[in-house]
Homo-oligomer: A and B are copies of this chain.
């Protein structure tokens, strides 16, 4: 009986370890592999033969792993390039040495491309190793799937912080603007999710070129109408010429030295400079939005865990390689949300960004449609029963720190 390997790549999420836990637990329920090795620091550590034996984690450790945020194996941003035979040979040699038949790679767009590239190389070089992808990303920008594990929990904490900070903002009478900034790279999924809270006045997404004059007109209108304006901006928002809003108006005007910081800070300053209100508050969700183990979505944890199990179970078929497992949306007999698990060729998942649908965006920065709200709501539903210790959700010591 051979072994398997599982590794994590790219930005961490609140549930990426739940997928890891799913692979480990599935192998305890049906030991297809003698050992489940964890590769430390993604592909980088695997190339260095840095592995950790995860086979016999206890049930309690698996429960803790499911509620431990970030990548418990460590992660990397290293991308295996097609044509880089040295890396590919090195990887296969590590796998051979450890008798590893299958590698599960938990990651985003780039990692799904790595799964495809490795599978292709193995086929071309007649080596038996197989490669299977398990998606994750808080950006939710992967094609083919309804959504990516990790995104629902990020959306849930983003909504919770939006609502809490809106109430904080709404308690005051003084004229000031509130700007919340979210991650999401070039896709507006996470920023748009904040609208589910019902508190967002204006929304700036990467999917719509930023028009400063038009935007400031809308800000002015909100203050005239209701005396307040709660704005959400995605870090990837940009002008029509591609300049990021975060680079500041001066950069947009060709003065590249004036990099002011995040998009939120720039938007706030723009509104003050326009004389609309004299002050503002910026809340940059930054890393807190993607590693929020204290605000996991139960739907998300469950699906991430089950995708790990699904990948392991499907790998029992010796022909199963170069594939990615994912979730499609369906409804049960009552019309309620239900997840449908599937697998598809890795090449169909790789290197394409799924943007937030423009038909779900209301004109003039006014937020998102009811259809978009209906997309989000089932994803952020439910809260896992967390195990607490000394007032904090208990976590496992990361394997890369042992």
Contacts and interface: CB of A to CB of B under 8 A. Distances in A.
A164 B383 contact: no
Contacts of A392: 156, 159-160, 163, 196-197, 380
Interface string A64-89: 00001111101111000000000000
| Most chain B CB inside 10 Å of its own CB: which residue of A285, A286, A382, A400 | A286
Contact of A261 (B261, B292, B391): B261
A381 B295 CA distance: 17
A125 B393 CA distance: 55
Given A392-B159, A392-B197, A69 B168 contact: yes
A294 interface: yes
A293 interface: yes
Interface stretch (A169-177, A233-241, A338-346, A357-365): A169-177
Interface string A372-402: 0000010011110000101111010010110
Given A160-B392, A173-B74, A168 B290 contact: yes
A291 interface: yes
A256 interface: no
A170 B70 CA distance: 9
A28 interface: no
Residues of A in contact with B, size category: 35 or more
Number of copies of this chain in the oligomer?
2
A183 to B, nearest CB: 12
Nearest to A398: B170
Contact of A171 (B12, B284, B285, B377): B12
Contact of A287 (B68, B283, B291): B283
A253 B390 CA distance: 43
Contact of A69 (B76, B167, B174, B261): B167
Interface of A: 8, 12, 14, 41, 44, 68-72, 74-77, 156-157, 159-161, 163-165, 167-174, 196-197, 261, 265, 281-288, 290-295, 297, 377, 380-383, 388, 390-393, 395, 398, 400-401
